Amino acid sequence: MSSKSKTLKIYFVQAILLSALVPFIFSVWLLWSILQSSNEKIKVANDHLEQSSLLQLIDTFHKVQSAAYMVATSEGLNLYFQSTIDNEHTHKKLLEGVIQSARNALCYKDTRWVIYGSRGKALLQIPTQNFYPTQMPNINKDSGIRINSNRTEVEFIFPISYQFNPISKKLTNNLGYIYIILPISEIKKQFPNLVHIYKVSSSLDIKDFKVYFKLDSQKMNNLYFIYVYIFIILLLLSVAIYWGVKVFQKRIVDKLLSLRARVLNEMNYADKRKINNELDSLSITFEFYLKYTSFLQSEIRKSSQLAAVGNLAHSIAHDVRRPFSTLYFFLQEIKGCNQIKQVTYLAKEFEPAFTESKNYIEHLLNEVMDAGISKLNISEKIKFEDLLFKSFLTIGSIKDNKKIEIEYQFAHSYYMDIDEIRILRVILNILANAIEAIHENGRIWIHTEDIKVENENFVEISIGNSNSFIEKEHLQSIFEPFFTRNKEKGTGLGLSIAQKIIKLHKGNIECFSEYDKGVEFIFFLPANKESYIPHISKLPKRFIGNKIKVALPKNSSENSMFVLIDDDPLVGRSWKRYLNNVDFMVFLSPEEFFNYANKNENFIKNISIIVTDYYFGVNSEYEFFVFARSLRDIYFNKIFLSSDAQINDYKILDELGIIKIDKRPHSIKELLSLI
């Protein structure tokens, strides 16, 4: 080692002496004492060996009882005893899986499990071969464990004396029994030295067991063993010290010496301190590191806050800009109208888009304002179905060819004392997310029930949907501010604010998701003391949407086709009316455009002008510049970008030969004049 590392040399030698030499000397003395023990001590050791085998046997019996306890307290058994005719088979399969898992965890593979009901009738058996619903044998049901009369089997009887409900936190008594049969031949497979079991204890007390093991007695050892042990240990210790010194020098000492030099160099610009050895340099380096880490964390927090505000501003700007673009298209259409009928037709066509935009912006502003909510305006005796009805009225119609069935199961019996307006927004947010998540056909279920939390009445509400899935790593993140998943609209505040509102009501909200079932939100709200009977007659049973279709034109003549790519069908119809007799084709996404081009060989050659939007909506995986580069690989004519989005780098547009125009219909003459 280097002479500059004297401090570490001393520490290393001390570590070797304390960690190796002292334990070695002690172990030699201890081994010498053991080898000098008398035959009486060897006899005691043999007795202990037999006792150890018995303890291992009892331990396996404990594991059987633990497995029975695990089954008795499992969710599968709980669901099975609560089964209805509709789900009994499913819950039975689930319970069989739980029992099979418990059997597989045991060291004994050949065990038979039988579940008896409270009246003694056999309900289920694992393995299921030769199973007939028989009555429970006439035995002492509280005995716990015993040997049968033929002394060929050990029987475990475990009463299912309670059932724990995690919501109501109550226990239900006398559900039935778990009956486990363990052949003694199976026990002998695990304990080959076992000869016979004469008696077992219900409490598994070792004093009450009578078991015979055939064990080989330990023989006295020769003192020659101690000399072999000393020689081997000294040899291994010498090798370990030799290689330890080399590794210590290379991986620790050399690096600390280098670190010491760096610290001394840094101290030319920092506070001067006296460094006595390598450990002092390491301590000072850690101090610098902690200060720098604290500074970086502070900067990251500031950066994250600014980024969150920027994301929110960008989201609001984009969502608010879109209805104004629609209004601008509407005004351009009115300019070309000569009759009142035309204006009326356009008003009817654009009215749904205006209404949707107005409702969405109002929802957006409410979200931003509710982010700072701290007080509630509680109204008493609110019916849940009234809130649900208002939510459906607010949602109105849905887009695309969606068909959504709605299932209700109301088991609550109390009014609610809540802030009606804000809880309405919570329900609306969850329902809107569910409808958006379902791509085509699907199902939404809404269930309620009465629960008690800390001796107070609450109404638990479950709202779930099929045909969607949230990954496990995102389940906790969805309640964080500004978190979104594949959503075209939204601030990412909806679920965060929903959680805050529910917690202000002294409630809680959780999200669960399974790939084959879907997504479900469960939350609970405070109940009024007065009860009533809920009704679902006025609630809708299904949602059916109609997608706005844009027809494709007939085959075009060569080099004369006008193509528009925009995810808003209203924009496509406005362009079509404005261009009138021009051969025109609309695509709602880049994917739709490329699919059509692949199926029609001469399609690209016949296009004279392409006009495209900047944003393609949530249903497209393309970003604009990725799409533009892919388009330029196959199309070399005129491309116009019709968008109100701000483009920071116009050089890329120039490189791709793309001209940016206003978000409105243009005539062919106007477009050509821009080239």
Q: Could you tell me which residues are beta bridge partners of residue 160? A: 176
Q: Could you tell me which residues are beta bridge partners of residue 511? A: 521
Higher model confidence: residue 641 or residue 230? 641
Contact 609, 560 (CB under 8 A): no
Question: What size, in residues, is the chain?
Answer: 675
Among 607, 559, 560, 602, CA closest to 587:
607
The pLDDT score that the predictor gives to residue 54 is 85
Q: Express the helix, strand and coil content of the chain in percent, nearest 5 each.
A: 50, 20, 30
> What average pLDDT does this structure show over 95-117?
89
Average pLDDT, the chain: 77
- The dihedrals phi and psi of 529, each to the nearest 5 degrees, come to -70, -25
The pLDDT score that the predictor gives to residue 547 is 41
Distances (CA, A) of 212 to 197, 209, 215, 356, 605: 7, 10, 9, 83, 94
Higher model confidence: residue 647 or residue 640? 640
Higher model confidence: residue 119 or residue 155? 155
Q: Which of 2-16, 60-74, 328-342 shows the lowest per-residue confidence on average (mean pLDDT)?
A: 2-16
Reported confidence tier of residue 406, pLDDT bands at 50, 70, 90: very high
Calpha distance 244→250 (Å, rounded): 10
In tens, the pLDDT along 283-293 reads 666 666 666 66
- Record the tokens describing residue 178, joined without a space: 């778990």
- End-to-end CA distance of the chain: give it in Å, rounded: 77
Arch. (CATH architecture) of 39-213: 2-Layer Sandwich (3.30)
At position 420, the amino acid (one-letter code) is: E
Contact 411, 443 (CB under 8 A): no
Angle at 529 between CA 167 and CA 520, to 5 degrees: 35
In tens, the pLDDT along 343-374 reads 777 777 776 666 666 666 666 666 666 655 66
Contact 440, 504 (CB under 8 A): no
- Record the tokens describing residue 441, joined without a space: 């056909």
pLDDT higher than 70, residue 391: yes
Return the beta strands (E) in 206-255 as ranges. Answer: 210-213
Q: Which residue blocks in 336-419 are alpha helix, DSSP H? A: 340-370, 384-395
Count other Cβ atoms within 10 Å, centred on residue 590. Answer: 22
The pLDDT score that the predictor gives to residue 412 is 94
Higher model confidence: residue 347 or residue 408? 408
Among 154, 167, 171, CA closest to 73:
171
Q: Which of 141-150, 152-161, 659-668 shows the lowest per-residue confidence on average (mean pLDDT)?
A: 141-150
Q: Which of 127-131, 161-165, 622-626, 640-644 shows the lowest per-residue confidence on average (mean pLDDT)?
A: 161-165
> What average pLDDT does this structure show over 132-148?
68
How many Cα atoms are found within 13 Å in the side-chain-facing hemisphere of 500? 18
- Residue 120 DSSP SS3: coil
The residues spanned by each domain of the chain are 3-31+241-263, 39-213, 278-370, 373-544, 561-673
pLDDT higher than 60, residue 6: no
- Tell me, yes or no, if the pTM score tops 0.85: no
Higher model confidence: residue 191 or residue 301? 191
Calpha distance 573→586 (Å, rounded): 9
Q: Which CATH number describes the domain made up of 373-544?
A: 3.30.565.10
Q: Which CATH number describes the domain made up of 561-673?
A: 3.40.50.2300
Angle at 475 between CA 473 and CA 478, to 5 degrees: 115
